[in-house]
Structure 1
Amino acid sequence: MTYHRIWSTSPAITLAAAGLLVLGATAPAWATVHVKKSLTPTGKNPAAQGKVGLVVKPHSKGKLKVDADGDDVLETEMPPDTEDAGDIQCCVADNEEAECDETTPDECTAEGGVDMGAGSCLPNPCPSTSTDEIACCIPDDDENGAECETATADECAAEQGVNLGAVACDPNPCAPTPPPTPEIACCVPDDEGVECE
């Protein structure tokens, strides 16, 4: 059973579950807060079991999730929600990384950004321009399969390798090349007996 309640412009949220004070949180007066209570029946007292989560809507700059004891499980900062329906995802170079800004196409062009189309900047749709080294699985003709080498993403692509990201090459994270499928004998009965190919 799931309950949804929405409070707008509420400075404080308190939720009591099964007669116990489970969660007390404050939110800015301008925030829209969504409280979700999920209960999982256990056989004894279904209403007393489950978990409680508090989610501050994305435009309110924060997100908090708590467990049944009221302890924080997940906390994150959310970017402000854009109010303009015509905004796009704009990737702007920022040091070695590309940063996503939700802005108008004209503002994106003026900042020298790349228009990634309509949508949210979460998760970040901008490709990394970092020169950091990654683990790269490079095809090899020997029987050991692909070899892992540290390289930049550009070097990995030039070698027709597979970018595994920022992981270590020891032990080798590259999947071994599967052996070729062996040929088998296929025996088919016919009028003259059994013929094998």
Structure 2
Amino acid sequence: MAVVIMLGVLAACSPQPGAPVFPGGTYDLDLSLPPQHLSETFPVANLGTCTVTVDSPEIRLDGATLTAGEGVVDQVDGTITVPDAKIVVPHSTIQLGSVALECFGNPVGSLSVAVEIEATASVQSAVFDAGERTLTLTQPTISIPTAKLIVTGSGTTLPPFSLPPIDITVPTISTRI
């Protein structure tokens, strides 16, 4: 009898096929890239070697949001395809890391690089997997209408370099939410 009651409750609480289950709206996203380290050594004509080292910290896009329309649950795999998805990254300055040059065992110099951006991304499709708590964004196209590159080094800050508008289609991204 308890099993029959539980099945009745589950049936009453389960969405009907095609029924909206994802209400749509605007949601905070945790978008970040892990830290990176790259080092390359190269010879300098009969004098020895130089090494270029690039280090970037974890890059976080604080304040990023996903705005999406109402979605429908796929009763087979438990995912929700979210239509009309758009990501907004508010105006921010992001530290991209540093570039250092060392030749013949002596430091030559280093530069720190940052970028000031504001961006939006349209998404071919967005799928939310409730079991895994992941959101998969297929082929997001990121539009950066204005960006400035900020370079500092040796106690000097160069004037920001304005970059032309940038549109980038990136591979599929999955993020936990």
Superposition TM-score, scaled by structure 1 size: 0.24
Q: Which has the higher strand share?
A: 2
Superposition TM-score, scaled by structure 2 size: 0.26
Largest Rg, 1 or 2: 1
